[in-house]
Amino acid sequence: MSTEIAFALIGCGEVGRILAEDLRSQGVAVAAFDLKLADARGDAMRTHAQQHGVALAASHAEAVQGAGIVVSAVTASQAVSVAEACAPALKPGAFFLDFNSASPGAKIRAAGVVNAAGGRYVEGAVMTSVPPYRIQVPLLLGGPDAAALEPLLSARGFAAKVASEKLGVASATKMCRSVMIKGLEAMVIESFTTARHYGVEDAVVASLYETFPGIDWEKQAAYFFQRVIEHGRRRSEEVREVAETVREAGLTPWSASGTAERQAWVADLGDAGLFGERGTKEFARSPNWRTEADRILQHIKKPA
């Protein structure tokens, strides 16, 4: 392993695994921890870690000890609690990069915990889906220590850019974007499934093409259905943080709250096996959104 700055990853989900792979391919030492490692849910994580040479830890504290850069990539609701769990074990001056889609207020609370323990908190706002870009996903950094961390991340292939020295600016940018992006996902699923029920989906899609000719609505709808079916639980938690961001601005988050409910509803259907067995090749992989819409319609039409 490299003797250069080591990374600790908190969270071995999709984002954590991608970062681990790309860092290990450079010979960077990587330690990781995830709560799911405590039971059978962590089997796939253990296999992945073994394949890529990632050192799995038994706790937050064990994972971050000695690491120069800690990346927290968990569900949005756990952002502050993870900072609290890691802070006491951080080595002095270690960077704590918060990748989580949390509200500006939550990021500021997490920063207070990390900085009080001698760490250097930096908020990170991931500005689009990670898989296509991998470690090079556009990333906004925020906080007083963002400028010091940026060159270290860039040297490892991150596409990081300092948004502001003020905490909350980067996350506010992402949260406001998510009102639109996650909301559009929920609206497409709701609109297209309803249109399928009435047999007017082709007319609706044709009208959208006419109004927004730059969007391939068939392809976009298939992608939206797939992403929400597969990641609706994480997305719903993120949108609840989006709603909190809206509240922090003094507005009632009618749109964001509805989006969170729709994303969670689809996630519930996925957990119930409506779209196939999770973790299989076929799960939520239909190139035609109509297949998934029909599954939803068949489900809701069943007698109670």
Q: Is the domain of 205 the same as that of 175?
A: yes
Whether 2 is covered by a domain: the verdict is no
Whether 233 is covered by a domain: the verdict is yes
Whether 153 is covered by a domain: the verdict is yes
Domain boundary among 121, 142, 166: 166
Q: What's the confidence (pLDDT) of residue 1?
A: 36
Domain boundary among 140, 166, 192: 166
pLDDT per position as a tens digit, 17-66 = 999 999 999 999 999 999 999 999 899 999 999 999 999 999 999 999 99
DSSP string over the chain: --SS--EEEE--SHHHHHHHHHHHTTT--EEEE-GGGGSGGGHHHHHHHHHHT-EE-SSHHHHHTT-SEEEE-S-GGGHHHHHHHHGGGPPTT-EEEE-S---HHHHHHHHHHHHHTT-EEEEEEE-S-HHHHGGGSEEEEESTTHHHHHHHHHTTT-EEEEEESSTTHHHHHHHHHHHHHHHHHHHHHHHHHHHHHHT-HHHHHHHHHHH-TTS-HHHHHHHHHHHHHHHHHHHHHHHHHHHHHHHHTT---HHHHHHHHHHHHHHHHHHTTTT--TTSTTTT--SSHHHHHHHHHHHHTS--
Q: Is the domain of 175 the same as that of 162?
A: no
Domain boundary among 166, 195, 222: 166
Q: Would you place residue 76 in the very low, low, confident or very high pLDDT band (cuts 50, 70, 90)?
A: confident
Q: Is the domain of 114 the same as that of 176?
A: no
Mean pLDDT of 69-90: 96
pLDDT per position as a tens digit, 32-46 = 999 999 999 899 999
pLDDT per position as a tens digit, 104-157 = 999 999 999 999 999 999 999 999 989 999 999 999 999 999 999 999 999 999
Q: Is this prediction's pTM over 0.95?
A: no
Q: Is the domain of 265 the same as that of 203?
A: yes
Q: What's the confidence (pLDDT) of residue 167?
A: 96
Provide the domain count of the chain.
Answer: 2
140 against 4, higher pLDDT: 140
Q: Is the domain of 276 the same as that of 149?
A: no
Q: What's the confidence (pLDDT) of residue 293?
A: 97
Domain that holds residue 162: 7-166
Q: What is the CATH number of the domain that holds 219?
A: 1.10.1040.10
pLDDT per position as a tens digit, 208-250 = 999 999 999 999 999 999 999 988 998 999 999 999 999 999 9
Q: Is the domain of 68 the same as that of 215?
A: no
Whether 1 is covered by a domain: the verdict is no
Q: What is the CATH number of the domain that holds 63?
A: 3.40.50.720
pLDDT per position as a tens digit, 242-283 = 999 999 999 999 999 999 999 999 999 999 999 988 767 667
Mean pLDDT of 60-82: 95
